[in-house]
């Protein structure tokens, strides 16, 4: 009898995982408007996300204590350099202690803006579609101010470039 119960629980758990994955994929396909927000940059100056409204924006939520977040950064640096002439702007949003961010960035040369959101970043990421509160979390915003792609977890360079190429062909 316990084996049947254990098997039933495992089966229900598997069904829940499949259902949740389908919900996330369905949610990712919906285009949603980008909410207006402002956050301080590394120097403490408030920056409105609309500052980059004429560009395709890749917004990445990250933290210094998150290994997958740090693994993505070199690719983002490369892609920022490669696609900047095509009106693409990467923006990092650090969900972390500002001192830890500054300590990390002292040894990493970033070529895109980093905004600070130590306490409000998780809520902002949820407003931008992060229904599972994953980190890293990346969204792509088109020039019509719509979030057209959302990705919880580590984002591969190949998938990101595929999304960018599709978007550039449309514009």
Rounded to the nearest integer, the mean pLDDT of the chain is: 87
Indicate the pLDDT class of residue 168, thresholds 50, 70 and 90: confident
Give, to the nearest 10 degrees, the angle between helix 157-170 and helix 67-83: 40
Q: Which of 154, 73, 153 is nearest to 107 (CA)?
A: 73
Model confidence at 114, pLDDT cuts 50, 70, 90, reads very high
Burial of 95 (0-12, 13-18, 19+ CB in 10 A): buried
Average pLDDT for residues 4-31, to the nearest whole number?
Answer: 51
Q: Does position 150 have pLDDT exceeding 70, yes or no? A: yes
3-state helix, strand, coil in the chain (%, to 5): 45, 20, 30
Give domain limits for the chain: 1-30, 33-170
Cβ proximity of 154 and 71 under 8 Å: yes
Question: Which residue would you say has higher pLDDT here, 101 or 27?
Answer: 101
pLDDT confidence bin for 170, thresholds 50/70/90: confident
- In this structure, whether the domain defined by 33-170 belongs to CATH 3.40.30.10 is answered with yes
């Amino acid at each position: 009898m316990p084996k049947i119960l254990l098997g039933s629980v495992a089966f229900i758990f598997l069904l829940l995982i499949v259902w949740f994955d389908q919900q996330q994929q369905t949610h990712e396909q919906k285009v949603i408007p980008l909410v207006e927000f402002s956050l301080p940059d590394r120097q403490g100056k408030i920056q409105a996300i609309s500052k980059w409204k004429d560009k395709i924006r890749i917004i990445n939520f990250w933290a210094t204590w998150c290994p997958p977040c740090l693994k993505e950064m070199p690719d983002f640096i490369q892609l920022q350099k490669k696609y900047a002439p095509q009106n693409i702007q990467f923006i990092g949003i650090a969900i972390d202690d500002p001192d830890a961010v500054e300590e990390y960035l002292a040894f990493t040369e970033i070529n895109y803006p980093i905004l600070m959101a130590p306490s409000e970043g998780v809520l902002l990421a949820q407003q931008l579609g992060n229904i599972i509160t994953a980190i890293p979390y990346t969204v792509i915003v088109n020039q019509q101010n719509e979030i057209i792609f959302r990705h919880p977890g580590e984002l591969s360079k190949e998938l990101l470039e595929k999304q960018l190429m599709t978007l550039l062909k449309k514009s």
